[in-house]
Structure 1
Protein backbone atom coordinates (compact mmCIF):
# COMPACT_ATOMS: atom_id res chain seq x y z
CA UNK A 1 0.00 0.00 0.00
CA UNK A 2 1.28 3.45 -0.91
CA UNK A 3 2.38 5.70 1.95
CA UNK A 4 0.03 8.76 2.07
CA UNK A 5 2.90 10.89 3.41
CA UNK A 6 5.19 9.96 0.58
CA UNK A 7 6.26 12.81 -1.70
CA UNK A 8 4.83 11.70 -5.04
CA UNK A 9 3.01 13.57 -7.77
CA UNK A 10 0.01 11.28 -7.36
CA UNK A 11 -0.23 11.92 -3.61
CA UNK A 12 -0.02 15.67 -4.26
CA UNK A 13 -3.00 15.40 -6.63
CA UNK A 14 -4.99 13.40 -4.06
CA UNK A 15 -4.19 15.98 -1.36
CA UNK A 16 -5.40 18.83 -3.58
CA UNK A 17 -8.69 16.97 -4.18
CA UNK A 18 -9.10 16.31 -0.45
CA UNK A 19 -8.87 12.56 -0.81
CA UNK A 20 -5.70 12.42 1.25
CA UNK A 21 -5.19 14.51 4.39
CA UNK A 22 -2.44 17.18 4.40
CA UNK A 23 1.03 15.80 4.73
CA UNK A 24 2.10 15.31 8.33
CA UNK A 25 5.07 17.40 9.37
CA UNK A 26 7.40 15.74 11.89
CA UNK A 27 7.36 17.59 15.19
CA UNK A 28 11.05 18.45 15.04
CA UNK A 29 10.70 19.83 11.53
CA UNK A 30 7.58 21.79 12.55
CA UNK A 31 9.39 23.43 15.47
CA UNK A 32 12.33 24.26 13.23
CA UNK A 33 9.99 25.84 10.66
CA UNK A 34 8.29 27.97 13.35
CA UNK A 35 11.69 29.09 14.62
CA UNK A 36 12.71 30.12 11.12
CA UNK A 37 9.46 32.06 10.71
CA UNK A 38 10.10 33.89 13.97
CA UNK A 39 13.64 34.73 12.84
CA UNK A 40 12.27 36.00 9.55
CA UNK A 41 9.79 38.29 11.32
CA UNK A 42 12.46 39.60 13.69
CA UNK A 43 14.78 40.24 10.77
CA UNK A 44 11.98 42.23 9.16
CA UNK A 45 11.74 44.39 12.27
CA UNK A 46 15.50 44.92 12.23
CA UNK A 47 15.44 46.13 8.64
CA UNK A 48 12.63 48.64 9.17
CA UNK A 49 12.95 52.36 9.73
CA UNK A 50 10.75 54.24 12.20
CA UNK A 51 8.37 55.19 9.39
CA UNK A 52 8.16 51.59 8.13
CA UNK A 53 7.45 50.25 11.63
CA UNK A 54 4.55 52.69 11.93
CA UNK A 55 3.24 51.92 8.45
CA UNK A 56 3.33 48.14 8.96
CA UNK A 57 2.11 48.07 12.55
CA UNK A 58 -1.28 46.67 11.56
CA UNK A 59 0.35 43.80 9.69
CA UNK A 60 1.71 42.17 12.85
CA UNK A 61 -0.19 40.30 15.53
CA UNK A 62 -0.49 41.10 19.22
CA UNK A 63 2.33 38.70 20.01
CA UNK A 64 4.65 40.89 17.92
CA UNK A 65 3.86 44.19 19.70
CA UNK A 66 6.69 43.83 22.23
CA UNK A 67 9.24 43.20 19.49
CA UNK A 68 7.91 46.08 17.40
CA UNK A 69 8.10 48.48 20.33
CA UNK A 70 11.63 47.31 21.14
CA UNK A 71 12.85 48.01 17.63
CA UNK A 72 10.93 51.29 17.48
CA UNK A 73 12.76 52.50 20.59
CA UNK A 74 16.04 51.29 19.10
CA UNK A 75 15.43 53.18 15.85
CA UNK A 76 14.37 56.29 17.80
CA UNK A 77 17.58 56.18 19.84
CA UNK A 78 19.65 55.81 16.66
CA UNK A 79 17.85 58.75 15.07
CA UNK A 80 18.43 60.96 18.12
CA UNK A 81 22.10 60.02 18.14
CA UNK A 82 22.48 60.88 14.46
CA UNK A 83 20.71 64.19 15.00
CA UNK A 84 23.02 65.08 17.88
CA UNK A 85 26.07 64.22 15.82
CA UNK A 86 24.87 66.25 12.83
CA UNK A 87 24.62 69.61 14.58
CA UNK A 88 27.29 72.07 13.43
CA UNK A 89 25.92 75.63 13.87
CA UNK A 90 29.08 77.44 12.76
CA UNK A 91 31.41 77.94 9.82
CA UNK A 92 34.61 75.99 10.43
CA UNK A 93 37.95 77.04 8.92
CA UNK A 94 39.86 74.23 7.20
CA UNK A 95 43.04 73.79 5.16
CA UNK A 96 43.78 71.51 2.24
CA UNK A 97 44.99 68.81 4.65
CA UNK A 98 41.54 68.73 6.25
CA UNK A 99 39.67 68.39 2.97
CA UNK A 100 39.30 64.60 2.81
CA UNK A 101 38.25 64.32 6.44
CA UNK A 102 35.88 67.30 6.50
CA UNK A 103 34.38 66.99 3.00
CA UNK A 104 34.76 63.47 1.59
CA UNK A 105 34.24 61.78 4.95
CA UNK A 106 31.66 64.18 6.37
CA UNK A 107 29.21 61.32 6.89
CA UNK A 108 26.16 59.70 5.31
CA UNK A 109 23.52 62.19 4.29
CA UNK A 110 25.58 65.22 5.40
CA UNK A 111 25.53 68.22 3.07
CA UNK A 112 28.73 70.27 3.00
CA UNK A 113 29.02 73.90 1.88
CA UNK A 114 32.65 74.98 1.31
CA UNK A 115 33.51 78.65 0.73
CA UNK A 116 36.88 79.42 -0.86
CA UNK A 117 37.82 82.98 -0.01
CA UNK A 118 40.68 85.40 0.46
CA UNK A 119 41.14 88.14 2.99
CA UNK A 120 40.87 91.64 1.59
CA UNK A 121 38.08 90.79 -0.86
CA UNK A 122 34.90 92.54 0.40
CA UNK A 123 32.46 90.12 -1.25
CA UNK A 124 34.25 87.15 0.36
CA UNK A 125 33.88 88.83 3.76
CA UNK A 126 30.18 89.45 3.08
CA UNK A 127 29.58 85.82 2.11
CA UNK A 128 31.37 84.59 5.25
CA UNK A 129 29.03 86.81 7.26
CA UNK A 130 25.95 85.40 5.49
CA UNK A 131 27.20 81.82 5.89
CA UNK A 132 27.61 82.33 9.64
CA UNK A 133 23.93 83.26 9.86
CA UNK A 134 22.91 80.32 7.66
CA UNK A 135 25.01 77.88 9.72
CA UNK A 136 22.96 78.83 12.78
CA UNK A 137 19.70 78.54 10.85
CA UNK A 138 20.57 75.16 9.28
CA UNK A 139 22.61 73.26 11.90
CA UNK A 140 22.36 69.94 10.04
CA UNK A 141 24.37 71.37 7.12
CA UNK A 142 28.14 71.48 7.50
CA UNK A 143 29.48 74.93 6.58
CA UNK A 144 33.22 75.25 5.92
CA UNK A 145 35.53 78.01 4.70
CA UNK A 146 39.08 77.91 3.49
CA UNK A 147 41.57 80.45 2.18
CA UNK A 148 41.64 79.55 -1.49
CA UNK A 149 45.34 78.88 -2.09
CA UNK A 150 45.72 76.88 1.14
CA UNK A 151 42.96 74.55 -0.06
CA UNK A 152 43.72 74.53 -3.80
CA UNK A 153 47.25 75.66 -4.75
CA UNK A 154 47.36 78.52 -7.29
CA UNK A 155 43.58 78.93 -7.28
CA UNK A 156 42.97 82.15 -9.30
CA UNK A 157 41.74 85.19 -7.38
CA UNK A 158 39.34 86.15 -10.17
CA UNK A 159 37.32 83.00 -9.32
CA UNK A 160 36.69 84.28 -5.81
CA UNK A 161 34.43 84.00 -4.04
CA UNK A 162 33.73 80.34 -4.80
CA UNK A 163 31.24 78.03 -3.11
CA UNK A 164 31.24 74.26 -3.62
CA UNK A 165 28.34 72.09 -2.41
CA UNK A 166 28.96 68.41 -1.64
CA UNK A 167 26.96 65.39 -0.54
CA UNK A 168 28.90 62.32 0.61
CA UNK A 169 31.99 63.51 -1.27
CA UNK A 170 30.20 64.21 -4.56
CA UNK A 171 30.02 67.79 -5.80
CA UNK A 172 26.38 68.78 -6.32
CA UNK A 173 26.75 72.48 -7.18
CA UNK A 174 29.36 75.19 -7.66
CA UNK A 175 29.14 78.99 -7.63
CA UNK A 176 32.26 80.67 -9.00
CA UNK A 177 33.14 84.35 -9.26
CA UNK A 178 31.60 87.66 -8.15
CA UNK A 179 29.13 87.92 -11.04
CA UNK A 180 27.39 84.70 -9.97
CA UNK A 181 26.65 86.20 -6.56
CA UNK A 182 25.47 89.57 -7.84
CA UNK A 183 28.17 91.66 -6.15
CA UNK A 184 27.98 93.45 -2.84
CA UNK A 185 24.18 93.70 -3.04
CA UNK A 186 23.95 89.99 -2.22
CA UNK A 187 21.46 89.31 0.59
CA UNK A 188 21.58 86.34 2.98
CA UNK A 189 18.15 85.23 1.73
CA UNK A 190 19.41 85.12 -1.86
CA UNK A 191 22.35 82.93 -0.84
CA UNK A 192 19.97 80.73 1.16
CA UNK A 193 17.78 80.29 -1.91
CA UNK A 194 20.79 79.35 -4.07
CA UNK A 195 21.88 76.72 -1.54
CA UNK A 196 18.34 75.37 -1.25
CA UNK A 197 18.21 74.87 -5.02
CA UNK A 198 21.33 72.69 -4.75
CA UNK A 199 19.73 70.68 -1.92
CA UNK A 200 22.17 71.78 0.80
CA UNK A 201 19.47 73.42 2.96
CA UNK A 202 15.69 73.15 3.24
CA UNK A 203 14.51 76.74 3.10
CA UNK A 204 11.20 78.13 4.27
CA UNK A 205 11.37 80.86 1.62
CA UNK A 206 8.49 80.60 -0.84
CA UNK A 207 10.25 82.15 -3.82
CA UNK A 208 13.59 83.48 -4.97
CA UNK A 209 14.27 86.83 -3.19
CA UNK A 210 16.24 87.96 -6.24
CA UNK A 211 13.04 87.71 -8.28
CA UNK A 212 11.31 90.07 -5.86
CA UNK A 213 14.13 92.60 -6.24
CA UNK A 214 14.05 92.27 -10.04
CA UNK A 215 10.26 92.68 -10.08
CA UNK A 216 10.49 95.85 -7.98
CA UNK A 217 13.23 97.18 -10.25
CA UNK A 218 11.17 96.54 -13.38
CA UNK A 219 8.13 98.11 -11.75
CA UNK A 220 10.17 101.20 -10.89
CA UNK A 221 11.48 101.43 -14.46
CA UNK A 222 7.97 101.11 -15.92
CA UNK A 223 6.59 103.81 -13.62
CA UNK A 224 9.35 106.21 -14.71
CA UNK A 225 8.61 105.73 -18.43
CA UNK A 226 6.32 108.29 -20.10
CA UNK A 227 2.78 107.15 -20.82
CA UNK A 228 1.27 107.17 -24.29
CA UNK A 229 -0.65 110.40 -23.56
CA UNK A 230 2.50 112.08 -22.32
CA UNK A 231 4.30 111.03 -25.48
CA UNK A 232 1.46 112.40 -27.65
CA UNK A 233 1.48 115.72 -25.76
CA UNK A 234 5.22 116.07 -26.15
CA UNK A 235 4.90 115.36 -29.84
CA UNK A 236 2.21 118.00 -30.25
CA UNK A 237 4.27 120.58 -28.38
CA UNK A 238 7.22 119.92 -30.66
CA UNK A 239 4.98 120.17 -33.71
CA UNK A 240 3.51 123.48 -32.56
Structure 2
Protein backbone atom coordinates (compact mmCIF):
# COMPACT_ATOMS: atom_id res chain seq x y z
CA UNK A 1 0.00 0.00 0.00
CA UNK A 2 1.29 3.45 -0.89
CA UNK A 3 2.51 5.61 2.00
CA UNK A 4 -0.19 8.30 2.58
CA UNK A 5 2.48 10.70 3.91
CA UNK A 6 4.62 10.45 0.78
CA UNK A 7 4.99 13.62 -1.31
CA UNK A 8 3.45 12.44 -4.61
CA UNK A 9 1.06 14.10 -7.03
CA UNK A 10 -1.42 11.23 -6.54
CA UNK A 11 -1.45 11.68 -2.78
CA UNK A 12 -1.93 15.44 -3.25
CA UNK A 13 -5.04 14.68 -5.34
CA UNK A 14 -6.34 12.25 -2.72
CA UNK A 15 -5.74 14.79 0.08
CA UNK A 16 -7.52 17.50 -1.90
CA UNK A 17 -10.59 15.21 -2.25
CA UNK A 18 -10.48 14.22 1.40
CA UNK A 19 -9.85 10.56 0.62
CA UNK A 20 -6.68 10.46 2.75
CA UNK A 21 -5.91 12.68 5.76
CA UNK A 22 -3.63 15.75 5.40
CA UNK A 23 0.06 15.14 5.71
CA UNK A 24 1.36 15.42 9.28
CA UNK A 25 3.26 18.66 9.84
CA UNK A 26 6.95 18.23 10.62
CA UNK A 27 7.98 19.73 13.97
CA UNK A 28 11.01 22.02 13.56
CA UNK A 29 13.56 23.03 16.20
CA UNK A 30 11.94 26.46 16.34
CA UNK A 31 8.56 24.84 17.04
CA UNK A 32 10.09 22.90 19.94
CA UNK A 33 11.57 26.11 21.42
CA UNK A 34 8.21 27.89 21.11
CA UNK A 35 6.41 25.00 22.79
CA UNK A 36 8.93 25.04 25.66
CA UNK A 37 8.59 28.80 26.13
CA UNK A 38 4.80 28.52 26.13
CA UNK A 39 4.96 25.76 28.73
CA UNK A 40 7.22 27.86 30.94
CA UNK A 41 4.95 30.88 30.72
CA UNK A 42 1.88 28.76 31.54
CA UNK A 43 3.62 27.43 34.65
CA UNK A 44 4.57 30.93 35.75
CA UNK A 45 1.13 32.50 35.28
CA UNK A 46 2.01 33.81 31.83
CA UNK A 47 5.12 35.66 33.03
CA UNK A 48 8.42 34.86 31.30
CA UNK A 49 11.58 34.21 33.30
CA UNK A 50 13.30 37.30 31.93
CA UNK A 51 10.52 39.49 33.36
CA UNK A 52 10.67 37.92 36.82
CA UNK A 53 12.60 39.19 39.83
CA UNK A 54 15.09 37.02 41.72
CA UNK A 55 12.53 36.38 44.49
CA UNK A 56 9.93 35.27 41.93
CA UNK A 57 12.43 32.92 40.30
CA UNK A 58 13.23 31.36 43.68
CA UNK A 59 9.52 30.86 44.41
CA UNK A 60 9.05 29.03 41.10
CA UNK A 61 12.03 26.71 41.57
CA UNK A 62 9.90 23.78 42.83
CA UNK A 63 7.62 24.01 39.80
CA UNK A 64 10.46 23.60 37.30
CA UNK A 65 11.02 20.14 35.80
CA UNK A 66 14.32 18.76 34.53
CA UNK A 67 13.69 19.90 30.98
CA UNK A 68 13.39 23.53 32.09
CA UNK A 69 16.01 23.50 34.87
CA UNK A 70 18.89 24.71 32.71
CA UNK A 71 16.93 27.72 31.45
CA UNK A 72 15.76 28.51 34.98
CA UNK A 73 19.32 28.46 36.38
CA UNK A 74 20.57 30.65 33.56
CA UNK A 75 17.99 33.33 34.24
CA UNK A 76 18.62 33.19 38.00
CA UNK A 77 22.39 33.63 37.52
CA UNK A 78 21.67 36.55 35.24
CA UNK A 79 19.45 38.21 37.85
CA UNK A 80 22.07 37.76 40.58
CA UNK A 81 24.80 39.21 38.35
CA UNK A 82 22.60 42.23 37.55
CA UNK A 83 21.90 42.85 41.23
CA UNK A 84 25.59 42.59 42.13
CA UNK A 85 26.53 45.01 39.37
CA UNK A 86 23.88 47.50 40.50
CA UNK A 87 25.17 47.34 44.09
CA UNK A 88 28.75 47.98 42.93
CA UNK A 89 27.68 50.99 40.89
CA UNK A 90 25.61 52.49 43.71
CA UNK A 91 28.32 52.38 46.37
CA UNK A 92 28.88 56.16 46.72
CA UNK A 93 25.97 58.61 46.45
CA UNK A 94 27.33 61.48 48.55
CA UNK A 95 30.18 64.02 48.67
CA UNK A 96 32.75 62.92 51.24
CA UNK A 97 35.07 65.32 53.03
CA UNK A 98 38.74 64.24 53.00
CA UNK A 99 42.11 65.58 54.14
CA UNK A 100 45.55 65.24 52.57
CA UNK A 101 46.27 61.98 54.39
CA UNK A 102 43.17 60.42 52.82
CA UNK A 103 44.30 61.13 49.26
CA UNK A 104 46.10 57.85 48.53
CA UNK A 105 43.22 55.72 49.80
CA UNK A 106 40.37 57.76 48.35
CA UNK A 107 41.93 58.69 44.99
CA UNK A 108 44.90 56.50 44.06
CA UNK A 109 43.20 53.38 45.38
CA UNK A 110 39.65 54.29 44.38
CA UNK A 111 39.38 51.08 42.37
CA UNK A 112 39.20 49.81 38.83
CA UNK A 113 36.80 51.71 36.61
CA UNK A 114 36.07 54.39 39.24
CA UNK A 115 35.89 58.10 38.39
CA UNK A 116 36.76 60.53 41.20
CA UNK A 117 35.81 64.21 41.27
CA UNK A 118 37.65 66.19 43.96
CA UNK A 119 36.56 69.74 44.83
CA UNK A 120 39.23 71.90 46.50
CA UNK A 121 37.35 74.75 48.16
CA UNK A 122 36.82 77.24 50.95
CA UNK A 123 33.39 77.51 52.47
CA UNK A 124 33.71 81.31 52.76
CA UNK A 125 33.87 81.63 48.95
CA UNK A 126 30.26 81.76 47.61
CA UNK A 127 31.04 79.99 44.32
CA UNK A 128 32.71 77.13 46.21
CA UNK A 129 29.58 76.78 48.34
CA UNK A 130 27.41 76.74 45.20
CA UNK A 131 29.52 74.04 43.53
CA UNK A 132 29.36 71.91 46.68
CA UNK A 133 25.57 72.07 46.42
CA UNK A 134 25.70 71.00 42.76
CA UNK A 135 28.08 68.16 43.58
CA UNK A 136 25.77 66.88 46.33
CA UNK A 137 22.91 66.67 43.84
CA UNK A 138 25.08 65.00 41.20
CA UNK A 139 26.42 62.49 43.74
CA UNK A 140 22.88 61.28 44.37
CA UNK A 141 22.08 61.25 40.66
CA UNK A 142 25.27 59.36 39.71
CA UNK A 143 26.10 57.08 42.67
CA UNK A 144 28.76 55.20 40.68
CA UNK A 145 31.00 58.32 40.69
CA UNK A 146 33.08 59.10 43.78
CA UNK A 147 32.63 62.78 44.68
CA UNK A 148 35.05 64.24 47.23
CA UNK A 149 35.76 67.67 48.68
CA UNK A 150 38.61 69.09 50.73
CA UNK A 151 39.36 72.51 52.19
CA UNK A 152 42.28 74.03 50.29
CA UNK A 153 44.31 74.95 53.38
CA UNK A 154 44.00 71.36 54.60
CA UNK A 155 44.84 69.49 51.41
CA UNK A 156 47.23 71.89 49.61
CA UNK A 157 49.10 74.28 51.92
CA UNK A 158 49.49 77.83 50.55
CA UNK A 159 47.11 77.11 47.66
CA UNK A 160 46.01 80.58 46.43
CA UNK A 161 42.40 81.56 46.89
CA UNK A 162 42.35 82.97 43.34
CA UNK A 163 42.44 79.36 42.09
CA UNK A 164 39.27 78.46 43.98
CA UNK A 165 37.09 76.69 43.26
CA UNK A 166 39.18 73.90 41.74
CA UNK A 167 37.95 70.56 40.48
CA UNK A 168 40.33 67.65 39.89
CA UNK A 169 39.01 64.72 37.88
CA UNK A 170 40.69 61.31 38.19
CA UNK A 171 40.11 57.94 36.58
CA UNK A 172 41.63 54.85 38.20
CA UNK A 173 43.99 57.13 40.14
CA UNK A 174 45.24 59.17 37.15
CA UNK A 175 44.52 62.89 36.77
CA UNK A 176 42.42 63.38 33.63
CA UNK A 177 41.18 66.97 33.91
CA UNK A 178 41.33 70.02 36.14
CA UNK A 179 39.10 73.08 36.30
CA UNK A 180 40.77 76.01 38.08
CA UNK A 181 39.36 79.33 39.21
CA UNK A 182 36.03 81.16 39.02
CA UNK A 183 36.35 82.09 35.33
CA UNK A 184 36.12 78.42 34.32
CA UNK A 185 32.70 78.13 35.95
CA UNK A 186 31.29 81.46 34.82
CA UNK A 187 30.49 82.91 38.23
CA UNK A 188 27.49 82.59 40.53
CA UNK A 189 25.09 81.92 37.64
CA UNK A 190 26.74 78.52 37.18
CA UNK A 191 24.03 75.84 37.06
CA UNK A 192 24.01 72.19 38.04
CA UNK A 193 23.26 71.14 34.45
CA UNK A 194 26.34 73.03 33.28
CA UNK A 195 28.52 71.14 35.73
CA UNK A 196 26.90 67.86 34.69
CA UNK A 197 27.64 68.62 31.05
CA UNK A 198 31.28 69.52 31.80
CA UNK A 199 31.81 66.23 33.61
CA UNK A 200 30.07 64.25 30.89
CA UNK A 201 32.46 65.64 28.29
CA UNK A 202 35.39 64.16 30.22
CA UNK A 203 33.61 60.80 30.49
CA UNK A 204 32.91 60.95 34.22
CA UNK A 205 29.19 60.34 33.82
CA UNK A 206 26.58 59.63 31.17
CA UNK A 207 24.20 62.55 30.97
CA UNK A 208 20.77 62.66 29.39
CA UNK A 209 21.36 66.28 28.42
CA UNK A 210 21.42 66.62 24.64
CA UNK A 211 23.39 69.86 24.39
CA UNK A 212 25.40 72.27 26.56
CA UNK A 213 22.96 74.22 28.76
CA UNK A 214 24.79 77.44 27.86
CA UNK A 215 27.17 77.58 24.92
CA UNK A 216 28.85 80.72 26.25
CA UNK A 217 29.96 78.77 29.34
CA UNK A 218 32.02 76.52 27.07
CA UNK A 219 33.57 79.53 25.38
CA UNK A 220 34.50 81.15 28.70
CA UNK A 221 35.93 77.90 30.02
CA UNK A 222 38.08 77.24 26.94
CA UNK A 223 39.33 80.83 26.89
CA UNK A 224 40.18 80.80 30.60
CA UNK A 225 42.10 77.54 30.33
CA UNK A 226 44.11 78.87 27.37
CA UNK A 227 44.94 82.28 28.83
CA UNK A 228 45.26 81.96 32.58
CA UNK A 229 47.20 78.72 33.06
CA UNK A 230 47.77 77.50 36.57
CA UNK A 231 50.33 80.06 37.74
CA UNK A 232 51.93 79.74 41.15
CA UNK A 233 54.29 76.95 40.12
CA UNK A 234 55.79 76.97 43.60
CA UNK A 235 52.57 75.72 45.20
CA UNK A 236 52.23 72.24 46.61
CA UNK A 237 49.49 71.41 44.13
CA UNK A 238 51.58 68.66 42.49
CA UNK A 239 51.17 66.64 45.68
CA UNK A 240 47.66 65.92 44.41
User: Which residue matches 1:125?
Assistant: 129
User: Which residue matches 2:94?
Assistant: 90
The separation in 2 between residues aligned to 1:175 and 1:93, in whole angstroms, is 19
User: Which residue matches 1:41?
Assistant: none
Count of aligned pairs between the two proteins: 150
Residues 1:84 and 1:148: Cα distance change in structure 2 (over 3 Å): same
The separation in 2 between residues aligned to 1:178 and 1:144, in whole angstroms, is 19
Structure 1 position 80, deviation (Å)? 2.6
Whether contact under 8 Å (1:94, 1:145) holds in the other structure is: yes
User: Which residue matches 1:202?
Assistant: 206
Which structure's residues are more often helix, by fraction? 1
Q: 2:195 aligns with which of 177, 183, 191?
A: 191
Structure 1 position 75, deviation (Å)? 6.2
Gaps of 5+ in 2: 1-67, 219-240
Residues 1:175 and 1:213: Cα distance change in structure 2 (over 3 Å): closer
**What TM-score, normalized by structure 1, do the two folds share?**
0.56
User: Which residue matches 1:26?
Assistant: none
The separation in 1 between residues aligned to 2:217 and 2:103, in whole angstroms, is 36
**What TM-score, normalized by structure 2, do the two folds share?**
0.56
User: Which residue matches 1:105?
Assistant: 109
Q: 1:175 aligns with which of 157, 167, 179?
A: 179
Structure 1 position 82, deviation (Å)? 3.7
User: Which residue matches 2:156?
Assistant: 152
Whether contact under 8 Å (2:153, 2:159) holds in the other structure is: yes
| Cα deviations by residue, 1:158-188 (Å, 9 ceiling, x for unpaired) | 1110001111101111100000000111011
Whether contact under 8 Å (2:185, 2:217) holds in the other structure is: no
Whether contact under 8 Å (1:86, 1:110) holds in the other structure is: no
The separation in 1 between residues aligned to 2:135 and 2:209, in whole angstroms, is 16
Q: Which structure would you say has the larger Rg?
A: 1
Alignment of 1:24-43 (within 5 A): none
